[in-house]
């Protein structure tokens, strides 16, 4: 009996905890900024498409290399013919005959003014360019994710100080109610405090909405499924601060011009155009190729044969042939096609150089603009920090004066508004400065971390 009771209690406990565990909500996964980068690298549709383009370019490269290998093909044919044929005595006889032929042929280009090697080099450059395009797009997505991630952190920090401000306003309303009950302040002053509290609560709701909207924007940027519950890791706000010194502009520009995929793609474009000129020159040169084939055949009269039949293997042995030769193809007149191709190749080479110069200019200007943005944001942050320090101390003193009855409600609310503006300016300037510095350092090749 005791064993039965123990078994029942154990079963009940097991079922209860399993049911409780099943009812617990799934924890929300918190994404770090590195998690966002990794997911985008592996799942972004645009990047995945570019990777497929890279794979296609790799196949084109293998195809170009295959042009150095001899081709090989085989052919087998067999036909049947029913006709009235001569019987050798001046008469006709109806005969059904069969004919077969079997051959293997091969060919290879021996010389074509280095056209095959140029094609292989072009395919190698195109494969490398496709690879760099993946990196180029990922760089753009990285900066966009960084901005979206910092926008979420900004809205969360805004919510934090607005919640603290709401708590402070609630304390002031309670204190105001005490003053009103004691006859120290008028009803109007108490209503002003209550109105300020209502305004602070509204700001909290707006901040919460901003967090959700910024999270949705980042989620859409990552191309996450709509049913994914998404939130981010919130680092300590004390660690998310701008650096006190920026790297020299010239150093960052040189690093960007050396390492950024935009410039490397432009240089590959120049090399491709140069090989295109070589290909155009090859159109004026002869092409030497070799070819060969072996084969045999068989013929047989199936019905009403007049002559003695020869066996299948005997016929194939007798008809076995080998053929080899070389072909020299010399372009004489091409309706000016080769001249036009060469002229267009030279034009393409000049365009590629101009595109490279433009890419270098655009990137240098972008780095300079990033430096200016980071420098201005850093100065704004320093000024906002000093303003916040003064506003915090002034607001603290004002609250103490209000408690002592030294100032009225209007002065208190004025000071609170100034404090709110100072906090908002500081928070905005801090995250703006961090974002601009991350962008500027990214041109140097420094990974984005928070």
d(CA 237, CA 291): 75
Return the pLDDT at 340.
Answer: 95
- For residues 386-403, give the mean pLDDT: 91
Q: CA–CA distance from 54 to each of 42, 50, 218, 276 (Å)?
A: 15, 6, 27, 21
Q: Is 159 left (phi over 0), alpha (psi -120 to 50) or beta?
A: alpha
d(CA 367, CA 372): 9
Least Cα distance to 201 among 193, 211, 190, 213 occurs for: 193
Domain ranges across the chain: 28-69+112-285+333-443, 76-109+290-330
Q: Which residues contact 117 (CB under 8 A, 6 or more apart)?
A: none
End-to-end CA gap in the chain: 63
DSSP 42-83: HH-HHHHHHHHHHHHHHHHHHHHHGGGSPEEEEEEEEEEEEE
Beta bridge partners of 297: 101
Under 8 Å between Cβ of 138 and 42: no
Q: Which band of pLDDT confidence, cut at 50, 70 and 90, is reported for residue 12?
A: very low
Higher pLDDT, 393 or 306: 393
Alpha helices in 283-336 (DSSP H): 312-319
Q: CA–CA distance from 231 to each of 45, 162, 201, 214 (Å)?
A: 22, 20, 23, 10
Query: Whole-model pTM?
Result: 0.83
d(CA 66, CA 54): 19
pLDDT of residue 5 exceeding 70? no
Return the pLDDT at 26.
Answer: 52
Q: What's the chain's average pLDDT?
A: 89
Domain 28-69+112-285+333-443 class, CATH top level: mainly alpha
With b for 16 or more beta-carbon neighbours within 10 A and e for fewer, the 18-32 pattern comes to eeeeeeeeeeeeebe
180-234 per-position pLDDT tens digit = 888 888 899 899 999 999 999 999 999 999 999 999 999 999 999 998 899 999 9
Total Cβ atoms within 10 A of residue 139: 15
Return the pLDDT at 107.
Answer: 94
69-128 per-position pLDDT tens digit = 999 999 999 999 998 877 777 778 888 888 999 999 999 999 998 999 999 999 999 999
d(CA 204, CA 164): 10
Higher pLDDT, 17 or 152: 152
Total Cβ atoms within 10 A of residue 192: 18
Q: CA–CA distance from 6 to each of 9, 13, 18 (Å)?
A: 5, 11, 18
pLDDT of residue 3 exceeding 50? no
pLDDT of residue 18 exceeding 70? no
Pair type for strands 231-232 and 30-31 = parallel
Q: Which residues contact 378 (CB under 8 A, 6 or more apart)?
A: 242, 244, 246, 433, 436, 437
Least Cα distance to 156 among 207, 216, 199 occurs for: 207
- For residues 130-150, give the mean pLDDT: 96
- For residues 354-359, give the mean pLDDT: 97
- For residues 276-294, give the mean pLDDT: 94
């Amino acid at each position: 009996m005791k064993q039965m009771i123990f078994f029942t209690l154990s079963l009940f406990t097991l079922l209860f905890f399993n049911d409780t565990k099943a009812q617990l909500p799934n924890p929300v996964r918190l994404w770090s900024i590195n998690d966002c980068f990794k997911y985008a690298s592996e799942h972004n549709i645009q990047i995945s498409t570019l990777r497929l383009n890279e794979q296609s370019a790799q196949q084109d490269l293998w195809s170009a290399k295959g042009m150095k290998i001899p081709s090989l093909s085989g052919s087998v044919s067999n036909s049947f013919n029913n006709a009235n044929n001569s019987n050798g005595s001046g008469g006709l006889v109806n005969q059904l005959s069969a004919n077969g032929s079997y051959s293997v042929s091969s060919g290879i280009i021996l010389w074509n003014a280095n056209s095959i090697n140029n094609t292989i080099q072009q395919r190698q450059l195109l494969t490398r360019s496709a690879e760099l395009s993946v990196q180029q797009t990922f760089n753009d997505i990285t900066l966009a994710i960084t901005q979206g991630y910092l926008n979420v952190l900004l809205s969360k920090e805004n919510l934090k100080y607005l919640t603290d401000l709401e708590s402070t306003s609630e304390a002031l309303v309670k204190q105001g109610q005490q003053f009103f009950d004691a006859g120290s302040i008028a009803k109007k002053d108490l209503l002003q405090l209550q109105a300020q509290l209502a305004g602070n609560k509204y700001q909290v709701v707006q901040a919460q909405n901003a967090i959700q909207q910024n999270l949705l924007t980042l989620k859409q940027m990552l191309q996450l499924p709509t049913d994914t519950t998404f939130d981010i890791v919130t680092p300590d706000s004390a660690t998310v601060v701008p650096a006190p010194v920026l790297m020299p502009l010239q150093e960052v520009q040189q690093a960007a011009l050396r390492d950024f995929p935009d410039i490397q793609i432009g240089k590959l474009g120049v090399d491709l155009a140069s090989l295109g000129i070589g290909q155009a020159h090859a159109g004026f040169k002869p092409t030497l190729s070799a070819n060969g084939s072996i084969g045999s055949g068989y013929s047989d009269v199936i019905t009403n044969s007049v002559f003695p039949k020869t066996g299948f293997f005997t016929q194939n042995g007798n008809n076995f042939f080998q053929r080899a030769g070389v072909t020299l193809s010399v372009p004489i007149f091409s309706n000016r096609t080769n001249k036009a191709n060469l002229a267009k190749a030279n034009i393409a080479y000049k365009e590629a150089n101009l595109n490279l110069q433009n890419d270098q200019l655009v990137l240098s200007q972008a780095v300079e603009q990033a430096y200016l943005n980071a420098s201005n944001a850093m100065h704004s942050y320093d000024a906002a920090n000093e303003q916040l320090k003064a506003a915090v101390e002034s607001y603290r003193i004002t609250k103490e004066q209000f408690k002592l009855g030294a100032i009225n409600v209007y002065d208190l609310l004025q000071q609170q508004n100034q404090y709110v503006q100072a906090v908002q300016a500081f928070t905005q300037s801090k995250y703006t400065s961090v974002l601009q510095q991350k962008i500027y350092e990214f041109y140097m090749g420094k990974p984005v971390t928070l």
